[in-house]
Amino acid sequence: MKKYLTDYFSQENITLTLWIVIVLSIGAKNQSFETVNFIKIINQLRYLFIPIILPILLIYFTKKKIIKINNSIVYKNFFVIFASLQLILSLIGFFNFKFFNENLYFYSLLSENPYKPNFLYALYYPLSFFIVSIFFFLYIKKEFIDKIIVATIIITLIITIYSLYLVYSDYLKFEHIIFYYSNTLNFSDTLGNPNIRVTSLARMLCILLIFSSLFYLTNKKKTITVLGLILIYFILVNLYLLQSRTSLYFGIVVVCFILFKRFNPVIAIIIGLMFFSSLKPISINVYLIKEKFRDSNVMIVDRFKSIEENQKDKDTKIKKMKDNVFFNLRQNNKINDEMDYEKKLRSISTGRSHIWKKIYSASITKSNNFIFGYGPMSDRFLTNQNASSGWMYMLITTGILGLLSFLFLYFEILFNFFRYIVKNKFRENKINTSVIIIIFLLFRTIVENSFLVFGYDFCIFILSYFILQNFKFANQNRK
């Protein structure tokens, strides 16, 4: 019994368990306890786990010498420095907002926006960002990384399958011309937690696609080859249906990478052409299947119209669906309510440029705002929306100082990429996977806040960055 407990409470198992709880804590909100129930208590513990419970556990386990600090990496790690800077700059930005923009701060408190600026809210996200960074690089060793990857994939897979179930259920049961925006309409939360947005679901599918390459390219069995192609195609079709452009375009690149790494060029091109040429027909057939499903449930046919009128309505909807698939754009674009259907369809913006203009205008009002920003989540206070860009988020929250620190991190990552490509020439699949994930998340920072705010992107990024850093230090040790 004693040996079993000793084995279970090893550093590997403890850090793995803590990592799983960290990932499961993503998206937790501070609960109001007007009514108390078990779900609220669990969600409150999730909310408190990273900033309070995790540091207490780490201090306790370290003092008892159950786990040991990994000193060799953390002091050389630029991401830990970056996380420390973000914590300091975020707090400076918040105090700049509160004491040097008093009227704007007061207005933010009175606005209808559910997000209100306060010190604890400002502290929560950068503190979580910092604590998880310290935990990962202080306590996790490279020998533990395989189990952590598997655990992360399993959690991602469960959430993705459940979210896809919601999307398909909603799409089949309710009136939607478009497939990819439906899950936010009728299934708002699960167990007191908001369901993920369509862009987040597409991101998870893309991450699963990249992780699948790790196993697909290392296993040469024929059964795995066939099943892997089916899985890759299934993910690709759903990415196309969801129409989140960053994930879709990057997913196509990843599929090409997998095919050309696994097969000879001729077979890779043939399979690729089969996959990509069938995406539009498959997407349209999904809509036609939905129409048949709903016809049978008497949910779409207007009984007070003639057969010809119903058919005409149906043909119009199918044409709109084909247009949406062809143009790869959202009909729910709200940047200008006066735009007619055709103009909305052909617009290349989803409103981000309008948000970025607001953020830039707020940043240049005073020199201190430009230098220090307004603190964490101030994009929501000042524009009523998230910044929809990691670069703009850094500017509005931590000012030009935070933006420059991110730029340094960006170039440090590019330098490590160059080092890896020169020395390893894409031979190591695990590092290939981490490199592709980091590139994907860096691209996402153009149109999403991504890993610059504590969340799923951040956890995937720090895992991939750790793998890349260990390659760097392994090469240094060989010298």
Which helix (H) or strand (E) segment holds residue 193: the answer is strand 193-194
Please give the chain's pLDDT, 479 residues, in tens: 445 545 667 899 999 999 999 999 998 988 887 788 899 999 999 999 999 999 999 999 999 999 988 765 555 688 999 999 999 999 999 999 999 998 888 888 877 776 778 888 888 999 999 999 999 999 998 899 999 999 999 999 999 999 898 888 877 776 665 565 544 445 668 888 888 888 889 999 999 999 998 889 888 888 999 999 999 999 999 998 887 888 999 999 999 999 999 999 999 999 999 999 998 888 777 767 766 665 544 344 444 445 565 556 656 655 555 554 443 434 434 444 444 444 444 444 566 888 898 899 999 888 999 999 999 988 888 887 888 899 999 999 999 999 999 999 999 998 888 887 777 767 788 888 999 999 999 999 998 999 999 999 999 999 999 998 876 544 544 44
Q: Alpha-carbon torsion 188, 355, 391, 435, what sign?
A: positive
Could you tell me the pTM of the whole model? 0.86
Closest C-alpha among 105, 129, 163, 125 to residue 30: 125
Pairing, β 193-194 against β 189-190: antiparallel
Give, rounded to a whole angstrom, the gap between the first and last alpha carbons of the chain. 44
